[in-house]
């Protein structure tokens, strides 16, 4: 029974962690190095994460400076940023790339909040699916005689506590992200 509980808890933690990563890549009105986590650059024929070919710094709240370690890759970095869904326009002086993060319009903020709510709901569904799988596993173990009905009941209650706790974490993360997006 313990392995079912720990497996469910681990999988739920991974769902919450994935949500945090998704939220980090959602653009708010502020500059953040996490915005570029998903951008891959064609580096000598192989797609390489941007943060592995350049230093990304945030000198001001609305400015990102990308300094490639190899100056020959500047053009590829600019292309990768322009192709991304970030809607940013890079400007380069041959040594570094500067990106101004424009303030978000009210409509765009509302759209981003909707996207954040959608992503959070997908995470809640994932946590509930993990709960269902764990409960099914406990039922099967009880049916096979591996655990008693009392142990199954305790396990089901424990899994519900895990579920409630992880859904609460998701709600807190969503609330923080909404405040961050709507902040002017």
CATH at residue 69 = 3.30.1360.40
Q: Do 78 and 136 reside in the same domain of the chain?
A: no
**pLDDT reported for residue 31:** 76
**pLDDT reported for residue 122:** 95
Q: Do 130 and 160 reside in the same domain of the chain?
A: yes
DSSP-derived secondary structure for the chain: -HHHHHHHHHHHHHHHHHHHHHHHHS--SS--GGGGTT-EEEETTEEEEGGGTEEEEEEETTEEEEEESSGGGHHHHHHHHHHSTT----EE-SS-EEEE-PPPPHHHHHHHHHHHHHHHHHHHHHHHHHHHHHHHHHHHHHHHTSS-HHHHHHHHHHHHHHHHHHHHHHHHHHHHHHHHHH--
Q: Is the pTM of this model over 0.75?
A: no
Domain boundary (48, 66, 100) is at 100
Q: Do 119 and 153 reside in the same domain of the chain?
A: yes
Domain boundary (100, 116, 140) is at 100
Domain boundary (59, 81, 100) is at 100
Q: Do 149 and 110 reside in the same domain of the chain?
A: yes
Task: Report how many domains make up the chain.
Answer: 2
Domain of 43?
Answer: 33-100
**Mind listing the pLDDT tens digit of every residue in the chain (184 residues)?**
788 889 999 999 999 999 998 888 776 767 778 888 888 998 888 898 988 899 988 888 888 899 998 888 888 888 888 888 777 888 888 888 998 888 878 888 888 899 999 999 999 999 999 999 999 999 998 888 888 889 999 999 999 999 999 999 999 999 999 988 887 6
């Amino acid at each position: 029974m313990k392995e079912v509980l720990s497996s469910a808890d681990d999988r739920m933690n991974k769902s919450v962690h994935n949500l945090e990563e998704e939220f980090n890549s959602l653009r708010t009105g502020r500059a953040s190095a996490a915005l570029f986590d998903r951008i891959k650059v064609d580096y000598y024929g192989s797609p390489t994460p941007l943060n592995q070919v350049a230093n990304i710094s945030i000198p001001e709240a609305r400015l990102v400076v990308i300094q490639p370690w190899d100056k020959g890759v500047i053009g590829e970095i600019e292309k990768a940023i322009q192709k991304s869904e970030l809607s940013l326009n890079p400007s380069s002086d041959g040594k570094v790339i500067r990106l101004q993060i424009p303030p978000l319009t009210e409509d765009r903020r509302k759209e981003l909040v909707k996207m954040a709510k959608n992503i959070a709901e997908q995470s809640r569904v994932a946590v509930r699916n993990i709960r269902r799988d764990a409960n099914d596993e406990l039922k099967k173990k009880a049916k096979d005689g591996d655990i008693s009905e009392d142990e199954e009941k305790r396990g089901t209650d424990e899994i519900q506590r895990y579920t409630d706790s992880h859904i609460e974490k998701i709600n807190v993360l969503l609330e923080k992200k909404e405040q961050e997006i709507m902040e002017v």
